[in-house]
Chain A
Amino acid sequence: MKHLHSFKLRLRAGIGVAVIVTVIYAVSGALVIGADTTSAGAKAADKKPQKKEAKKLTGSELYAINCNRCHAERYPTEFNSAQWKTLMTHMRVRANLPAKQAKEILKYLQEDSGD
Chain B
Amino acid sequence: MKTRPQIVGVLAASFAIGVALPPRASADISDEQFNQLKDLVTQQGQTLKKQDQRIDQLETVHDQDQKVHDQDQNRIHELEQQLNETHSIATNAVQKAEAAAQVQPASPAAFAGPAATHNFSMVGDAEVQFGKASGSSSAFALADFAPIFLFRGGDNTLFEAGFDIMLQNGSHGPGGSGGSSTSVNLSFAQLDYLLNDYITVVGGDMVLPLGTYSERAAGWLNKIPDDPMVRDILPGSGVGMQLRGAIPICESGQMLTYSVYGANGPSSIDGSGTSGNLDLGGNVGDTPNWHVHPSGGGRIGWFMPWKPHYDLELGLSGQSGEWDDSGSHLWSAAVLDAALHISPFFEVKGEYINTWVGTDDIGTYHPRGWWLQAAYKFAGLDLDLPVINDVELVGRYDTLSDGLGTQTDRSTLGYVYYISNTLLFEGDYEWLHGNDAHNGFVFQLSYGF
Contacts and interface: CB of A to CB of B under 8 A. Distances in A.
A105 B14 CA distance: 111
B293 A68 contact: no
Nearest to A93: B192
A35 B198 CA distance: 11
Interface in A20-74: 20-21, 24-25, 27-29, 31-32, 35, 54-57, 61-62, 64-66, 68-74
B199 A89 contact: no
B296 A13 contact: yes
A10 B293 contact: yes
Contacts of B195: 28
B309 interface: yes
B194 A71 contact: no
A63 B112 CA distance: 30
Nearest to A31: B198
Dominant SS at the B interface?
strand
Nearest to B250: A54
Contact of B220 (A24, A31, A71): A71
B314 interface: no
Given A13-B296, A72-B421, A28 B448 contact: no
Contacts of A68: 308-309, 344
B253 A17 contact: no
Contacts of B292: 6
Contact of A65 (B158, B200, B311): B311
A113 interface: no
B308 A65 contact: yes
A73 B199 CA distance: 27
Contacts of A86: 119-121, 150, 152, 158
Contacts of B194: 89, 92-93, 99
B48 interface: no
Contacts of B192: 89-90, 93
B251 A25 contact: no
Contact of B308 (A56, A64, A79): A64
A93 B192 CA distance: 7
Given A28-B196, A69-B347, A100-B197, A21 B245 contact: no
A15 interface: no
Interface string B220-262: 1100000000000000000000011111101111010111101
Contact of A89 (B152, B215, B255, B344): B152
15 contacts: A16-B296, A17-B296, A24-B243, A24-B260, A35-B197, A57-B253, A61-B253, A68-B309, A74-B421, A86-B150, A86-B158, A89-B194, A90-B160, A90-B192, A94-B216
Which are the 7 A-B pairs with shortest beta-carbon distances?
Answer: A99-B197, A64-B308, A28-B198, A96-B257, A98-B248, A86-B152, A72-B421
Given A66-B253, A89-B152, A93-B192, 16 more contacts: A6-B327, A13-B296, A24-B258, A31-B247, A32-B197, A54-B251, A65-B305, A69-B309, A74-B421, A89-B192, A90-B148, A90-B158, A96-B301, A98-B255, A99-B246, A101-B253
